[in-house]
Amino acid sequence: MSKIVVFKITEGDWQQGFSVIMEIGEEGQSSRPEFPGKLPSSADLPQYYQTWQSSYLYLLRYGRVSASPNQATNSSAILNNCQKAAQELEISLNCWLNSETFRPLKDKLLEKLHRSESVRVFIQTSDLQLRCLPWHLWDFFKTYKQAEVILSAPIFDPENPPIVNSGQKQLRILAILGDSQGINIDADRKFLENLPKAKVHFLVQPERREITDQLWDQSWDILFFAGHSCTKQEKGKIFINSKDSLTLGDLKHGLSLAIKNGLQLAIFNSCQGLGIAKELEELNIPQVIVMREPVPDVVAQNFLKHFLGRFSQGEPLHLAIKTARERLQDEGLDQEIPGATWLPILCQHPTVTPLLWPKKPLKGLVYLGIAGVFLLGTMGVGVWQQFHQILLFSEQGIELKYPKNWQVTKDPILGEVARFVVPVQGSSEGFQESLRITIEPLPTPMFSLEDYSNQAVQRISQLLTNDPISAIKTELSGLDAAEVVYHNKEDLRLKTKQIWTIKDNQVYIITYTAPAQQFDRFEGQVEKMMRSLKIN
């Protein structure tokens, strides 16, 4: 089961220390137990951050030019200073987080969490200095490989939750490509153009009215910005073309409407985005990704490529960011620009349902929203067979008894473990009845059976049937399961029963489809097959 950890840094300062309330529990819990603690005073830590920040900015400005021989020594010294500052910051941060007053909270984490669990770790504070810190460098995250740090606003409006359109066939992305003087944002556009299950509308160096029109008149799932941006006095500013800049406040009404209409994620692949994140959080955006500091082209482009590659393939949002950062580390960017991989940060609220990327449709088939819900079949007329002649199917940890004269086939591309097809008799006109078993990864480890069932019913209702349906509780292989039965919207002559269950972050789905007039004829046989199923 996935977990949530929330560190609420409620009050304090660097001279007195900070009071902390830690919450820890399972995803989906309405309330979580709280544990009090304290982070000690530390006048050194913000100073170490400022030292790294200064050396980092100095390196970007003077240390990474194509050096002539007489410049090489100076460039090397600038790089060494930045490396030293990054190391000292990491050491100071770990000393602070492993302090005696905070240690009880860490011990509680080690007691409550399993190393293989997916864990979202929220730092809930409005203090900009605390938000700047590279929390992911805490040695806790070296042990817990599926844990990732997320910033969170201390105030979120639960009475006006944002709409989460997780059932979209494709994501609608508004991509603003702003002022590009001195930077290359063409690569960003290419990454976006090649995304699966996404419809991208580009605004290239737009006028203010163009942005306003899109926010007011259209609905979007993701807002993307690439170009120049900055934060001044905790306020974010974006440069939309070579002449004009906007604060987020200039767009607040349009942004509020876009969030109300389903905007779930904003990505600002631009410099100094913490002020931008703060203002968007005040508008109750579900999640936003920004860069802490000025970001070099190579970091912005490679992060976006790796992040979108993982996220668009179904990896949870927070883990896609973590994976992208680790990829940048392996590519050696921290050796070239110490601290460069620290820049991307996700801001989200613990109550938000994270955005999931829609699954890619498979060639030659109609994808129906969840794996295993496909309108499949071969032409033919099913024939009733008695169940007394049976064979045992065993593959991929699944065992199932089936009639000897049913054909067994599968299409691995569809994620099928097996498809059991009723034998054809005579001239074969109509739909050949079949029972299919598919396995898919849980969309996110945070999903419970109820979460998955709600999403499945929503997608089936949107895409497959006009019948009013709801998931009925049942059992499959001794596990809690859910079942739906419906007539297919595209062909009312067809009827489908589907049962799914979850084990070890995998969804096991059995789908029986038959002509409505023949459905009852084979249902008893199918029920016996389902009852014989064992998931090992």
287 and 184 share a domain?
yes
Share of the chain above pLDDT 90, in %: 54
323 and 440 share a domain?
no
Identify the pLDDT of residue 44. Answer: 94
Instruction: State whether residue 122 is helix, strand or coil.
Output: strand
Identify the pLDDT of residue 152. Answer: 95
Averaged pLDDT for residues 108-122: 91
User: How many domains would you assign to the chain?
Assistant: 3
Identify the pLDDT of residue 396. Answer: 74
Residue 438 token pair: 């598919």
Looking at 152, 179, 204, the residue that finishes a domain is 152
User: Do the strands 390-395 and 398-403 form a parallel or antiparallel pair, or are they unpaired?
Assistant: antiparallel
Specify if 507 maps to a domain: yes
332 and 454 share a domain?
no
Identify the pLDDT of residue 74. Answer: 64
Question: Which region among 38-47, 71-80, 143-152, 223-232 has the lowest average model confidence (pLDDT)?
Answer: 71-80
Q: What are the φ and ψ backbone dihedral angles of 490, each rounded to 5 degrees?
A: -75, -25
Contacts of 125 (CB under 8 A, 6+ apart): 8, 9, 131, 151, 152, 154
321 and 398 share a domain?
no
Identify the pLDDT of residue 398. Answer: 85
Residue 90 token pair: 């990491």
Amino acid at 327: R
Mean pLDDT of the residues in the chain: 84
pLDDT at 268 over 70: yes
Q: Per residue in 463-501, pLDDT tens?
A: 788 888 888 888 888 899 999 998 887 666 788 999 999
Specify if 44 maps to a domain: yes
Identify the pLDDT of residue 527. Answer: 86
21 and 148 share a domain?
yes
Specify if 228 maps to a domain: yes
Are the C-beta atoms of residues 292 and 342 closer than 8 Å to each other? Answer: yes
Rounded Cα gap, residues 290 and 178, in angstroms: 16
pLDDT at 91 over 90: yes
Across the beta sheet with 506-515, the strand order is 407-409, 416-421, 434-441, 506-515, 494-503, 479-487, 472-476
296 and 423 share a domain?
no
Identify the pLDDT of residue 188. Answer: 95
Looking at 284, 315, 348, the residue that finishes a domain is 348
Tokens 């409620």 locate to 10
For helices 69-97 and 44-58, give the axis angle rounded to 10 degrees. Answer: 160
Count of residues in the chain:
536
pLDDT at 284 over 80: yes
Averaged pLDDT for residues 224-249: 93
pLDDT at 69 over 50: no
Identify the pLDDT of residue 306. Answer: 95
Tokens 């680790």 locate to 326
Q: List % helix, strand, coil for the chain (3-state, nearest 5).
A: 35, 30, 35
Averaged pLDDT for residues 448-466: 84
Largest CA distance in the chain: 89
Are the C-beta atoms of residues 304 and 191 closer than 8 Å to each other? Answer: yes
Specify if 372 maps to a domain: no
182 and 325 share a domain?
yes
Q: pLDDT band at residue 406, thresholds of 50, 70 and 90?
A: confident
332 and 465 share a domain?
no
Rounded Cα gap, residues 119 and 454, in angstroms: 22
Contacts of 132 (CB under 8 A, 6+ apart): 49, 274, 292
Specify if 461 maps to a domain: yes
- CATH at residue 396: 3.40.1000.10
Specify if 36 maps to a domain: yes
Specify if 371 maps to a domain: no
Residue 511 token pair: 């789908």
- CATH at residue 256: 3.40.50.1460
Helix (H), strand (E) at residue 3:
strand 3-13
Question: Which region among 19-33, 43-57, 480-494 has the lowest average model confidence (pLDDT)?
Answer: 480-494
292 and 409 share a domain?
no
Residue 476 token pair: 């499959």
268 and 303 share a domain?
yes
57 and 200 share a domain?
no
Identify the pLDDT of residue 438. Answer: 85
* Residue with the larger pLDDT of the pair 378 and 313: 313
Averaged pLDDT for residues 414-440: 70
Averaged pLDDT for residues 386-395: 59
Specify if 261 maps to a domain: yes
For the chain, the straight-line distance linking the first and the last C-alpha, in angstroms and rounded, comes to 19
314 and 421 share a domain?
no
Closest by alpha carbon to 56, among 342, 345, 270?
A: 342
Domain span including residue 343: 171-348
Identify the pLDDT of residue 407. Answer: 83
Instruction: State whether residue 233 is helix, strand or coil.
Output: coil
Looking at 119, 152, 185, the residue that finishes a domain is 152
- DSSP structure string for 238-297: EE-SSS-EEEGGGGHHHHHHHHHTT--EEEEESS--HHHHHHHHHTT-SEEEEESS---H
